[in-house]
Chains A and B, each alone.
Chain A
Amino acid sequence: MGIIHTKDFGIRYGEKIILSQANIDVPAGRFFAVLGENGAGKTSFVKSLIHQNHQTTGELHLNTTRVGFVPQFRDITRDYPLSINEFVALNYNKGWRLWLNPQEKLDVQEALRLMDLSNIAEKRLGLASGGQKQRAFVAQALVQRPNLLILDESTASLDHEHKVQLLKTIKQLQKTQNLTVLFITHELKLVSQFADGYLFFENGRVTQGDTDELQSLTMKITHIHEEDEVRHV
């Protein structure tokens, strides 16, 4: 059984069915693209993984308690005061200790190193570039050494070069840290170069496939989009 395993799993909000008969099995240590239109159930599924959905049916097994999550929206203004180092340490959210203990300090340093932020650790996050900010967001999720890392549209706000750079770093992490990655995205073409498999959400169903099929899925979806565009014209 993989790190995520479902059997006839479903989600509903009141009368509305978001997802039904989901039968998937994500093996540990893989990079999975999570695809589908807005409202297709991607976020709801991820919420269920971290026990935020109560109206579920069937079985959902998550074989780890160490989950890191990089949310889609974060409002970091220019005058946001914390340094990158301090921002990453925010993930320690239990207890009262004002300063980090030696182990926590080491883990923060390691997360910064993995995301190539060590040399700008003291920089104010508000004054960091878009790419640096995204890397700091990922570093924060890495600080508690997760086995499963979920990223929600993390490349959406970046230019192409930084998108590729971030994905390369995450791919590297997946390999060296034996991390399972769920990468929620709309950028199918881009992510297909990095993913080992995909979960595709459509009309309340989810299908699972591996890399080869991802290529054909890319063609299929691109094709649909092109047809859409033609129709709009």
Chain B
Amino acid sequence: MFSYDFMQNAFIAGTVVSIVAGIVGTFVVARNYAFLTHSLSEIGFAGAAFGLFAGWPALLGMMLATSGASIAIGALESSYTKRDNVTSAISALAIGLGILFLALGHTSTTAATGILFGSVLGISRQNLLLLLTLALVVIVTLLINYRALRQLAFDEAGIFLQNSRQKMVRYIFLVMIALSVSISSQLVGSLLIFVLVTLPAASAKYYMTTPPKLMGLAILFALFGTWSGLSLAYLTNLPTSFFIAVIEVLIYLFSVWQFQKNA
């Protein structure tokens, strides 16, 4: 299996994406940002479609769209509007635009499917390098701001000094989610982002009680799904995203069941 270049690339990409998703996901789940993350992936779809229409790499279009949208959502969130409503409005607009750009760009069905469902087996060395760089940026940025982020995600009410540094951390967090969504979509596609960013971290929270351990277990769950998914896809010739989705959902359901049984 590893004698093929494309399988090597896919495993490296899968590993990197799982690590990023596990770390970011822990904060996303703690802050109840699952819905926002899902919407960002829809916005990412629009960005990718625009990218293809404009003749850019899809990932670049995706990054620009998700980062822009996350900043917009952050700005609106701090006023009195309800977060979920703002997010729905922006993502509805995004999907509409995505469909428009796909039509205008006469994009092939393969390219469109790639954006929506992922195309990990088609990742090139060049794409891989970009992916690794982005992953490194996300991980380093999150770790530098670890403690402020930890408080924001796990206990926002406890922040009573709303200084400019705190506001900055909010935006940094949102942009890092946006970048993670863009990176993860390379693997599972924009429709299934929450399979890697939300589900492993949501499962981990039923077992672990400290943030580093939550991140660790979330990474393990994500890696397990990704590696098994890639292997099964190789053996069966069925889509990778399908296997990853099934595995992560099963882990999640088992975790909830365990927790309810014991608690």
Genuine A/B complex? yes
Q: How far is the CA of A122 from the CA of B213 in the complex (A)?
A: 14
Given contacts A90-B150, A90-B154, A97-B146, contact A79 B161 (CB under 8 A): no
Residue among A51, A78, A82 facing the most chain B CB atoms (10 A cut-off): A82
- B210 and A96 contact, CB distance less than 8 A: no
Interface string of B198-226 (1 = CB under 8 A from A): 00000011101111101000000000000
**Residues of the A chain whose Cβ atoms lie less than 8 Å from the Cβ of B211:** 82, 86, 98
Q: Which stretch of A18-26, A66-74, A172-180, A185-193 is in the interface?
A: A66-74
Could you tell me if A71 and B158 are in contact, using CB atoms closer than 8 angstroms?
Answer: yes
The secondary structure that dominates the B interface is helix
- The reply to whether the CB of A217 lies closer than 8 angstroms to some CB of chain B is no
Contacting residue for B263 out of A83, A122, A127, CB 8 A? A127
CA distance in complex: A93, B214 (Å): 18
A71-B160 contact, Cβ under 8 Å, with A79-B206, A86-B209: yes
Q: Determine whether the beta carbon of B263 is less than 8 Å from that of A69.
A: no
With contacts A78-B263, A82-B211, A99-B212 taken as known, whether A87 is within 8 angstroms of B155 at the C-beta atoms is yes
Return chain A residues, CB-CB under 8 Å to B259.
Answer: 79
- Inter-chain CA distance A208–B8, complex, in Å, is 73
Across the interface, which residues of A come within 8 angstroms of B209, CB to CB? 81-83, 86, 122, 124
* Closest beta carbon of chain B to A89's beta carbon, Å: 9
A103 in the interface (beta carbon within 8 A): no
Query: By the criterion CB–CB under 8 Å, are B157 and A75 in contact?
Result: yes
Q: In the docked arrangement, what's the CA distance between A93 and B163, Å?
A: 13
Say if the beta carbon of A13 comes within 8 Å of chain B.
no
Residues of A within 8 A of B208 (CB): 81
Residues of A80-116 whose CB lies within 8 A of B:
81-83, 86-87, 90-99
Using CB atoms, name the residue of chain B closest to A46. Answer: B160
Q: Check if A140 sits within 8 Å of B158, measured CB to CB.
A: yes
A119: Cβ under 8 A from any B Cβ: no
CA distance A82 to B150 in the complex (A): 11
Residue A50 interfacial (CB < 8 Å): yes
Question: Taking the complex as formed, is A52 at the interface, i.e. its CB lies under 8 A from any CB of chain B?
Answer: yes
Whether the pair A90, B158 counts as a contact (CB closer than 8 A) is yes
Q: Is the CB of B158 within 8 A of A96?
A: no
Q: A90-B150, A140-B158 are in contact. List 4 more A-B contacts (CB 8 A).
A: A74-B157, A79-B259, A96-B145, A127-B263
